[in-house]
Structure 1
Amino acid sequence: MTIIESRASWGAVRPRSTSYLGSARGVKAHYTGGRVDPATLTDHEACRAAVRGIQRGHMLGNGWSDIGYSMVACAHDRAMIGRGPRVLPAANGPGLNSGHYAILLLVGTSGVTEPTDGMKRAFHGARRYLRERGAAGAQIAGHRDGYATSCPGEPVYRWVRAGAPLPSTTPSAPSADPEPLPEPEEESMPEIVSLGLEDEVVVPPSTDYQPWWTAEWKDSAGWHPTDGQSIAPNVKVWADAVAFVALRGLAPGEPVQVALTRHNDDGTMQDVAWPINRPALLRADADGRVEANLAAQFGLSGDSRARVFIRHASTGVVTLETASAFKALLHRS
Structure 2
Amino acid sequence: MTIIESRASWDAARPRSTTYLGSAKGVKAHYTGGRADPRTLDDHDACRAAVKGIQRGHMTGNGWSDIGYSMVVCNHDRAMIGRGPHVLPAANGPGLNSGHYAILLLVGTSGVIEPTDAMKRAFHAARTYLREHGGAGSEIKGHRDGYATSCPGGATYAWVRAGAPLPSAPPPPTPEEPEESMPEIVSLGLEDEVVVPPGADFQPWWTAEWKDSAGSHPSGGQSIAPNTATWVDIVAYVALRGLAPDEPVEVAITRHAADGTLQNVAWPIERPALLRADVDGRVEVNLAAQFGLGPANRARVNIRHASAGQVVLETASAFKALLHRS
User: Could you say whether these structures have the same fold, taking a TM-score greater than 0.5 normalized by the shorter chain as the test?
Assistant: yes
Query: 1:327 maps to what in 2?
Result: 321
1:12-27 matches, cutoff 5 A: 16-17=10-11, 25=23, 27=26
Question: Structure 1 residue 155 and structure 2 residue 154: aligned?
Answer: no
Residue 119 of structure 1 is matched in structure 2 by none
Q: Select the residue among 246, 257, 260 that pairs with 1:264.
A: 257
Provide the C-alpha distance between the structure 2 equivalents of 1:198 and 1:246, rounded to a whole number of angstroms.
14
SS at match of 1:323: strand
Say if 1:175 and 1:28 are closer, same or farther in 2 by CA, change over 3 A. closer
CA distance in 1, matches of 2:147, 2:212: 38
Match runs of 1:130-149 below 5 Å:
130-132=126-128, 135-136=131-132, 137-139=135-137
Tell me the distance in 1 between the aligned counterparts of 2:77 and 2:50.
15
Instruction: Kindly state the Cα deviation for residue 16 of structure 1 after the two structures are TM-superposed.
Output: 3.5
Structure 2, unpaired ranges of 5+: 1-8, 14-21, 58-65, 90-97, 110-119, 149-157, 174-183
**Aligned counterpart, 2:277:** 284
TM-score (norm 1): 0.56
Contact 2:198 2:306 in 1 (8 A): yes
Determine whether 1:234 maps to 2:235.
Answer: no
Q: Separation in 2 of the partners of 1:200 and 1:82? A: 33
Q: Distance in 2 between matches of 1:181 and 1:301?
A: 35
Q: Give yes or no for the alignment of 1:249 onto 2:248.
A: no
Amino acid at match of 1:139: G
Distance (Å, rounded) in 2 between the aligned partners of 1:132 and 1:275: 25
Q: Supply the AA of the counterpart residue of 1:70.
A: M
Residue in structure 1 matched with residue 28 of structure 2 by the alignment: 29
Deviation of the 1:293 alpha carbon: 2.1
Bigger Rg over Cα: 1
Residues 233/91 of structure 1: CA separation in 2 closer, same or farther (3 Å cut): closer
Q: Check conservation: 2:196, 2:203, Cα contact below 8 A.
A: no
Q: Is the 8 A contact 2:186 2:212 kept in 1?
A: yes
Unpaired runs of 5+ residues, structure 1, are: 1-14, 38-45, 73-79, 112-123, 143-151, 158-166
Give the superposed CA RMSD. Answer: 5.4
Of residues 298-307 and 199-208 in structure 1, the stretch that sits farther from structure 2 once superposed is 199-208
Q: CA deviation at 1:209?
A: 2.6
Tell me whether 1:70 sits opposite 2:71 in the alignment: yes
Alignment TM-score, normalising by the size of structure 2:
0.57
Alpha-carbon distance in 2 for matches of 1:154, 1:177: 15
In the alignment, is residue 309 of structure 1 matched against residue 302 of structure 2? yes
Q: Percent identity, please.
A: 49
